[in-house]
Chain A
Amino acid sequence: MDIVIFRVAAVFYLASASLYVYYLFRTRERVSKRAYLLLMIAFMIHTLALVSRAFVARHLPATNLFESLSLFSWMVAGGYLLLEWRYKIPILGSFVAPLNFLGVLIATLNPQTVRPLPPALKSTWLYIHATTSFLGEVAFALAFVVSSVYLIQERYIRKKRLGGLFQKLPSLGQLDELNYRLLTLGFPFLTLGIITGAIWAQYAWGAYWSWDPKETWSLITWFIYAAILHGRMTVGWRGRRAAILSVVGFGAVLFTFLGVNLLLPGLHSYSSM
């Protein structure tokens, strides 16, 4: 049942993404408002899908790749809805919505059967660890999009070619500020995610830290973001450099999230397929 609902949500995600892309060419409030509404509908249907999945599986649906991607896309959609509601920059949706739909699409390509939870994972820590890590990653995903838009806009200004999307994209100042806010929001969550993960590992595997690839890569990710924030406060890593680092940081997030699961065997491998 939840799979059917999920597919309906996917259709709405696609519709919203198409409309957001259309908004790049026809920048009308009417278009962006409809795209926003469609995204909200997709989000709500997706919520339904997740709830019904949780009922069937009797645990947080974040234990295989399909579930993780689905949950992640859902949180990105929710995060973006809040972001647009708060900052009113619908043009960001033209980038977020298609990327998010891509996530949904990849999710559907993975096996979707509910599997019983390995005993090692049966714990409230699953909820705390997964939620905090995901919240951090969602903030970084949005920061990645904001930074990419920053780099596009910066290129227009530096090349002195003010055609194309120049008029439609937000100002560098606004994007830089937004990037910074998202990073400062995501970082505490990532930190919490790693700490709760370590505590849970102590319960489940008997060791706080065992240098499993996922652990190693989250630590690398943590150091990258720590460096960005530290650099900003001390020597002024802002603007272009902050944007590039934010893009790099998200690369590390993606690798931790997907690459490790798919390429490197380790303790977290149950979340691969």
Chain B
Amino acid sequence: MDILVVGLNHRTSPIELREKLAFSQEETQQAYEKFLDHRLVREVMVLSTCNRVEVYSWANTGGEERILSTLQELKGVQKEELLPVTYVYHGREAVKHIFRVASSLDSMVLGEPQIVGQVKDAFEQAMASEATGVILNQLMKKALSVSKRIRTETGIGESAVSVSYAAVELAKKIFGELDRKKALLVGAGEMAELAAQHLVNQGVAQLVVVNRTFSRAQELAEKLHGEAAPMENLPQELVDADIVITSTGAQEYIITGDMVQRVMRERKMKPMFFIDIAVPRDVDPQVERVENVYAYDIDDLEQVVEENRKRREKEATKAERIVEEEVENFLHWLRSQEVVPVIVSLRNWCDEIRKRELEKTVSRMKLNGEEAKALEALTSAIVNKILHPPLSYMKEAASKGEGEKVARLVKGLFALEEKDEHKDRDQRQ
């Protein structure tokens, strides 16, 4: 039995194929029945997002082929189509892959947060469908906790990696809460609109759109739940605006240093933040000389994004170390699982014998409570002392990876019925 990953992602396969293989929620339900149909696959879970389709399982040797053939059958794809784009991981590599996926280390945009939710949903659905058992449950719980640990201990999700987000993040570092701030959108470029949209989402109190063609301003204002104003009002609008996004097609600066100097005096030096997305620029770089005025043009923002990306990559190496560590922990647990059922049944078996014999003696000899208690303690001590060396030997063997062999041996020696955690599932089937 081994943990197994069969899957494909944005790096190995084109979008067309990923679309074809994607699972809807209902399809997943049916797929689980198909996957678990044969005894090769004991536990299974499907993760289907726009960037990846992956099947996680706890399976016997040969599970890999069965999963691939089931995929072909379910999705009506040819083997020749599927094989070159799929990857298969076993054991340690599989665990590592799952941890990396859940921690967004395998994502197209490193550190993007959606994947955690997707993994969680997929896991919950699989659990509800009773497709997972002890092993995958523990694995996925661990994957989610590793992801959380990485998010809190590294800066992988910190700092924006798109221009419009970077602009909004900066605005927040300048103003703090945006709920009492006013934004002004000058011009109507696509990226400027996106940045304005982010500002609105972040709860900016008011948004005014100014454009050379007033109808376009109105149109955009309506879309962003703001107000429109004619271009002539720009100097007046600036006085009330805290955040100004510009993206006009003008050839020269439409916001000059003198203009901002005047505006700042009028607004009693309250800070202003200019986000100039236009090329050629709309905001004269001179405005930065004015106290409490901050101005970022598109190059500045792109540089910020680039640095953030690098920072995320640096954080990712920290994250990889955490993954390695947690994979080790999980494998340790997994190995111990090989002997845990045998340990439990051995202990139960001994205890049953002990209790049975004790019961006989106590009733035959008509012992009083205190004597019975003493005898109880005596027999327990004997059983525990005898069991101690074999149990520690088994645990030791498990951590060396010989658990399966030793478990079989002990089972044979004592003629134990395996109290397998999979018993529940086997009965169900």
With both beta carbons as reference points, the residue of chain B lying nearest to A175 in the complex is identified as B176
* Distance to closest chain A CB from B155 (angstroms): 7
CA distance in complex: A162, B310 (Å):
12
CA distance in complex: A10, B303 (Å):
45
Q: List CB contacts (< 8 Å) of B127-160 with chain A.
A: 152-153, 155, 158-159
Interface string of B273-292 (1 = CB under 8 A from A): 00000000000000010011
Q: Which residues of B are found within 8 Å of A235, using beta-carbon distances?
A: 268-269
Q: Which residues of A are found within 8 Å of B153, using beta-carbon distances?
A: 28
Determine if A167 and B155 form an interchain contact, defined as CB atoms under 8 angstroms apart.
yes
Is B341 engaged at the interface, CB distance under 8 Å to the other chain? no
Number of interface residues of B (CB under 8 A): 28
CA distance in complex: A235, B267 (Å):
9
Compute the total of residue contacts between A and B using a CB distance below 8 Å. 63
CA distance in complex: A173, B158 (Å):
20
Which residue from B174, B269, B308 sits with its C-beta under 8 Å from A238? Answer: B269
Is B122 engaged at the interface, CB distance under 8 Å to the other chain? no
* Distance to closest chain B CB from A253 (angstroms): 25
Determine if A166 and B173 form an interchain contact, defined as CB atoms under 8 angstroms apart.
yes
* Distance to closest chain A CB from B52 (angstroms): 30
CA distance in complex: A172, B308 (Å):
20
Given contacts A28-B153, A162-B304, contact A170 B269 (CB under 8 A): no
Is A7 engaged at the interface, CB distance under 8 Å to the other chain? no
Determine if B269 and A171 form an interchain contact, defined as CB atoms under 8 angstroms apart.
no
Determine if A173 and B268 form an interchain contact, defined as CB atoms under 8 angstroms apart.
no
Which residue from A153, A162, A236 sits with its C-beta under 8 Å from B270? Answer: A236
Is A86 engaged at the interface, CB distance under 8 Å to the other chain? no
Determine if A171 and B296 form an interchain contact, defined as CB atoms under 8 angstroms apart.
no
* Distance to closest chain A CB from B29 (angstroms): 40
CA distance in complex: A163, B158 (Å):
12
* Distance to closest chain B CB from A81 (angstroms): 23
Is B408 engaged at the interface, CB distance under 8 Å to the other chain? no
Determine if A160 and B303 form an interchain contact, defined as CB atoms under 8 angstroms apart.
yes
With both beta carbons as reference points, the residue of chain B lying nearest to A27 in the complex is identified as B155
Interface string of B158-174 (1 = CB under 8 A from A): 11000000000010111
Number of interface residues of A (CB under 8 A): 22
Which residue from B155, B170, B303 sits with its C-beta under 8 Å from A157? Answer: B170
With both beta carbons as reference points, the residue of chain B lying nearest to A177 in the complex is identified as B176
Is A237 engaged at the interface, CB distance under 8 Å to the other chain? yes
Is A239 engaged at the interface, CB distance under 8 Å to the other chain? yes
Q: List CB contacts (< 8 Å) of A228-264 with chain B.
A: 235-241
CA distance in complex: A237, B291 (Å):
10
Which residue from B158, B175, B267, B304 sits with its C-beta under 8 Å from A172? Answer: B175
CA distance in complex: A160, B311 (Å):
15
Is B307 engaged at the interface, CB distance under 8 Å to the other chain? yes
With both beta carbons as reference points, the residue of chain B lying nearest to A176 in the complex is identified as B271
* Distance to closest chain A CB from B261 (angstroms): 13
Q: Which residues of A are found within 8 Å of B268, using beta-carbon distances?
A: 235-236, 238
Determine if B173 and A153 form an interchain contact, defined as CB atoms under 8 angstroms apart.
yes
Given contacts A163-B311, A238-B292, contact A172 B271 (CB under 8 A): yes
CA distance in complex: A170, B172 (Å):
10
* Distance to closest chain B CB from A165 (angstroms): 11
Q: Which residues of B are found within 8 Å of A236, using beta-carbon distances?
A: 267-270
CA distance in complex: A73, B265 (Å):
40
27 A-B pairs with C-beta separation under 8 A:
A153-B173, A157-B170, A157-B173, A158-B288, A158-B294, A160-B296, A160-B300, A160-B303, A162-B170, A162-B304, A162-B307, A162-B308, A167-B155, A171-B172, A171-B175, A172-B173, A172-B174, A172-B176, A173-B174, A174-B176, A236-B270, A238-B268, A238-B269, A239-B292, A240-B291, A241-B269, A241-B291
Give residues in A with beta carbon < 8 Å to B: 28, 153, 157-158, 160, 162-163, 166-167, 170-174, 177, 235-241
Give residues in B with beta carbon < 8 Å to A: 152-153, 155, 158-159, 170, 172-177, 267-271, 288, 291-292, 294, 296, 300, 303-304, 307-308, 311
5 tightest A-B CB contacts, nearest first: A236-B268, A173-B176, A236-B269, A171-B176, A239-B292
